[in-house]
Structure 1
């Protein structure tokens, strides 16, 4: 098992290796394999990239993000400009019309609301907004329609897990209540955890996914 000192060094190296991140703006601390990232970055997309970089390092058990977004002057946009950009990118994304997804912006914080047919559409809306200039954070309040039964949803997810991560599927418990899926158990790594969560989001009728998975062999 890697020591906290070794993990700190490897997380710092991973941050430096990722050219989408200004590693000089990120401080790294590790305690009991839990990584804390602190500092200031220039965009919300960069903040998420820093989190993903830390998660990629083998042996990391969890990541705490205490990073602030400070948009540089050349990237600053008014809330009206940000709202227009968000509306434009959503209109070019299938299933995310103005009628389906509404947008509000306050001090660079984008809030998405409305209703879509599938969970993946809700995530697609969020992912489309994250890299836009001037965005400081994204709050996703989009609801997912659907009346599939808990049994049907659980069955679809279990089948998807076996297709995408068969070994991990045996260690995962799937609970469904009113369209909310709760995942419990162990994933071998953060990438495997992402595969499991993606499989859950792909099932019809899923409105939310609660990730309670731990990382470990």
Structure 2
């Protein structure tokens, strides 16, 4: 098992290796294999990239993000400019529509609302907004239509998990209540955890996914 000192070194190296991250502006602390990131990234996309970088390091059990986005002067945009950019990127993204996804912006915080047919559309809308200049954070309040039964959803998620990661699927419990999927159990790594969550979001009728999976050997 890696020590906290070794994990700290490897997380710092992973941050330095990722070209989308300014590692000099991010501090790393590790306690009981839980990584805490602190500092001031220049964009919301960089903040998320730093979290993903820490999660990629083998042995990390969890990541605490204490990063505050400070947009540099050359990337600052007015709320009106950000709102226009968001509407444009939604219009140009296949499978999405500005008529379904509503946009509000306040001090660089983008809030998405409205209704879509699939959970993946809700996540896609968020993902295409994250890299835009001037965005400080994204709040996703989009609802997902759909009335599939809990049994149907759980069955399809279970089948998808077996296709993607059969060994991990045996250790994951899927609970469905009114379109909300809760995943419980243990997986071996953050990538395996991501596979499970993606499978859940891809099922019809899923409105929300609650990730209660733990990482461990």
Q: What TM-score bracket applies, with the shorter chain setting the length?
A: over 0.9
Task: Report how far residue 166 of structure 1 moved.
Answer: 0.4
The answer to whether 1:185 aligns with 2:191 is: no
Structure 1 equivalent of residue 111 of structure 2: 111
Q: How does 1:132-147 map to 2 (within 5 A)?
A: 132-147=132-147
Runs of 4+ in structure 1 deviating by more than 3 angstroms, as ranges, are none
Cα-Cα RMSD: 0.5
Structure 2 equivalent of residue 198 of structure 1: 198
Structure 2 equivalent of residue 166 of structure 1: 166
DSSP-derived class of the 1:41 partner: coil
Structure 1 equivalent of residue 24 of structure 2: 24
DSSP-derived class of the 2:35 partner: strand
Structure 2 equivalent of residue 46 of structure 1: 46
Mapped contact 1:95–1:116 kept (Cα < 8 A): no
Query: Structure 1 unaligned runs (5+)?
Result: none
Task: Report how far residue 96 of structure 1 moved.
Answer: 1.8
Task: Report how far residue 95 of structure 1 moved.
Answer: 2.8
Calculate the TM-score normalised by the size of structure 1: 0.99
Q: In structure 2, how many angstroms separate the alpha carbons of the residues matched to 1:99 and 1:20?
A: 32
Q: In structure 1, how many angstroms separate the alpha carbons of the residues matched to 2:186 and 2:42?
A: 34
Structure 2 equivalent of residue 37 of structure 1: 37
Task: Report how far residue 97 of structure 1 moved.
Answer: 1.1
Q: Deviations over 1:86-131 (max 9, x none)?
A: 0000001123212110000000000000000000000000000000
Q: In structure 2, how many angstroms separate the alpha carbons of the residues matched to 1:150 and 1:17?
A: 43
Q: Deviations over 1:146-165 (max 9, x none)?
A: 00000000000000000001
Q: In structure 2, how many angstroms separate the alpha carbons of the residues matched to 1:67 and 1:98?
A: 30
DSSP-derived class of the 2:157 partner: helix
The answer to whether 1:102 aligns with 2:74 is: no
Query: Structure 2 unaligned runs (5+)?
Result: none
Q: In structure 2, how many angstroms separate the alpha carbons of the residues matched to 1:170 and 1:212?
A: 16
Structure 2 equivalent of residue 14 of structure 1: 14
Q: In structure 2, how many angstroms separate the alpha carbons of the residues matched to 1:162 and 1:206?
A: 19
DSSP-derived class of the 2:133 partner: coil
Corresponding pairs, count = 217
Moved more, 91-100 or 76-85: 91-100
Q: In structure 2, how many angstroms separate the alpha carbons of the residues matched to 1:126 and 1:68?
A: 19
Q: In structure 2, how many angstroms separate the alpha carbons of the residues matched to 1:112 and 1:170?
A: 35
Q: In structure 2, how many angstroms separate the alpha carbons of the residues matched to 1:167 and 1:126?
A: 30
Calculate the TM-score normalised by the size of structure 2: 0.99
Q: Deviations over 1:133-189 (max 9, x none)?
A: 000000000000000000000000000000001000000000000100000001110
